[in-house]
Structure 1
Amino acid sequence: MLKSTIPFLKIKPYYLFLFLLLFSSLCCKEKAKDDNRFITYQVNPEKQNIQMYWKNDNGELLKSLDRLNQNVQFKNEKLIFAMNGGMFEPDNAPKGLYIEDFKILKSTDTLQGNGNFYLQPNGVFYLTQNNQAGIVETKKFRYNKAIRYATQSGPMLITNGKINPIFEENSKNLNIRNGVGILENGDLIFVMSKKEVNFYTLAEFFKNSGCKEALYLDGYVSRTYLPEKNWIQKDGNFGVMIGVTTSAK
């Protein structure tokens, strides 16, 4: 009988574990891409123009995605993506910290209270003058003059790659929800559910997408403007909005 000249392949447990971990990660990311419960937009903050909006140059509240679009067009720009960007007061003022063009327009809210905003840990999403993005727990946020935009919201959905432990997988607290997360390559991913979901489901989607940090932005009022995916919502009654623009020329 001829003996095989191919040596028996032995895989050390450590490398097998790494392979299975990588395979599992790739499967989760593919599953997230095919999840039609969510509308998503991925953006490179170093190459694309991301801004936060609240009022126009005349100090008038923008409030809706339609008025934001009109404001952008007035400046000879094209809005390619927009989403409400955090909770707000009855007068449409941002709830908690809001920085626009390096100016602190609302201070950080570290009080205790009721509602989603005060679920812990609370967080801050920010963009720097060097087009770097960050999401950090509010208690760990440190202001510096390089921060161009920032919005505070809560709760954190993902921290250090882990789903917020206060969320219950089978919770019946369902709503349309949206949030923002950061991928390992530094890209941002904005997500809004098309249908009502609980916090855990939204957080799980961010985790499966590869986010190490993700922040909840708001609930049933959430809207998204994304023409490239034929998802155009122009209404709303918001405080802060987040938009991605390009030149209209």
Structure 2
Amino acid sequence: MPVKSNHLLFFLLFLCIGCTKKREDENTFVLYKINPQKQNLQFYWKNSKNEMLKSIDHLKNEVESRNDKLVFATNGGMFEPDNSPKGLYIENFKLLKPLDTLQGSGNFYLPPNGIFYITQNNEPGIVETKKYRQNSGIKYATQSGPMLLMNGKINPIFQKNSNNLNIRNGVGILENGEIIFAMSKKEINFYRLAELFKEMGCKNALYLDGYVSRTYLPEKNWIQQDGNFGVIIGVTE
């Protein structure tokens, strides 16, 4: 009997720790998990009039004009001063901006840079830019940096106690092919964001952007419809 009691106690303690961690994550991050095989995930830059969307509010108006409902949206990567995507951008199989393999300053060029993409079969991928190979089966792609996770390991350039704090958002992929989007509700460092994706079971994750980040997720009462950015990633129904 004492052995069984100890097992039960350990199990209850494990559940308690898990619940506490989940609450902590939900207090720190806006989290959204999707199945790209079952949900309509798209990348957006311009509207039907070829005007740059720039904000989630403009995207919401655009999809509603098609009688669709926007259920989730977030900024999908860094951008140039004219709001054009920074680096590679593919939308509906069309290459709209080429791959950026240059060296430079800023988060985009922190090593390694990476690509988040969706194939014609709605299979997601995150890969280091140097390993990316363009092909006709890529339906959507956005380039950003730095990579947060690579094969389950946190980017070694990150420091756990770094005081480089900011609002940050990123994307990760679970082993079952589901996608996790996360945006911090408060200022955090790169390591904490990478750690989140690792704890959730992602093998690869990519940083999307910082203080400009916005997320629209009405099902969790998180509604940010402003913004002034380039690529927007949205889910409609």
TM-score (norm 1): 0.87
Post-superposition shift, 1:30?
A: 7.5
Count the aligned residue pairs.
224
**Which has the larger Rg?**
1
Aligned to 1:123: 114
Structure 1 unaligned spans of 5+ = 1-23
Sort the Cα spacing of 1:123 and 1:167 in 2 relative to 1 into closer, same or farther, 3 A: same
Aligned to 1:180: 171
Sort the Cα spacing of 1:106 and 1:28 in 2 relative to 1 into closer, same or farther, 3 A: farther
In structure 1, distance between residues paired with 2:39 and 2:52: 25
Q: Which residue identity is paired with 1:53?
A: Y
Q: CA RMSD in A?
A: 1.8
1:111-135 alpha-carbon deviations (Å, 9 max, x no partner): 0000000000000000011010000
Aligned to 1:153: 144
Does residue 125 of structure 2 align to residue 138 of structure 1? no
Identity among equivalent positions (%) equals 71
Q: Which residue identity is paired with 1:72?
A: V
Sort the Cα spacing of 1:107 and 1:79 in 2 relative to 1 into closer, same or farther, 3 A: same
Alignment partner of 2:219: what SS?
helix
Does residue 157 of structure 2 align to residue 166 of structure 1? yes
Task: For 1:54-65, list aligned pairs within 5 A.
Answer: 54-65=45-56
Sort the Cα spacing of 1:160 and 1:59 in 2 relative to 1 into closer, same or farther, 3 A: same
Post-superposition shift, 1:137?
A: 0.3
Q: Which residue identity is paired with 1:236?
A: G
1:164-187 alpha-carbon deviations (Å, 9 max, x no partner): 000010101000000000011110
Moved over 2 A (4+): 27-34
Aligned to 1:110: 101
Sort the Cα spacing of 1:30 and 1:97 in 2 relative to 1 into closer, same or farther, 3 A: farther
1:192-224 alpha-carbon deviations (Å, 9 max, x no partner): 000000000000011001100000000000000
In structure 2, distance between residues paired with 1:170 and 1:40: 23
Aligned to 1:16: none
Aligned to 1:3: none
Among candidates 32, 37, 62, match of residue 41 of structure 1: 32
Q: Is the 8 A contact 1:175 1:197 kept in 2?
A: yes
TM-score (norm 2): 0.91
Task: For 1:48-127, list aligned pairs within 5 A.
Answer: 48-127=39-118
Aligned to 1:238: 229
Among candidates 186, 191, 211, match of residue 202 of structure 2: 211
Alignment partner of 1:190: what SS?
strand
Post-superposition shift, 1:58?
A: 1.1
Post-superposition shift, 1:33?
A: 6.0
Post-superposition shift, 1:57?
A: 1.4
Q: Which residue identity is paired with 2:21?
A: K
Q: Is the 8 A contact 1:94 1:240 kept in 2?
A: yes
Alignment partner of 1:59: what SS?
coil
Q: Is the 8 A contact 1:29 1:209 kept in 2?
A: no
In structure 2, distance between residues paired with 1:136 and 1:50: 19
Structure 2 unaligned spans of 5+ = 1-13
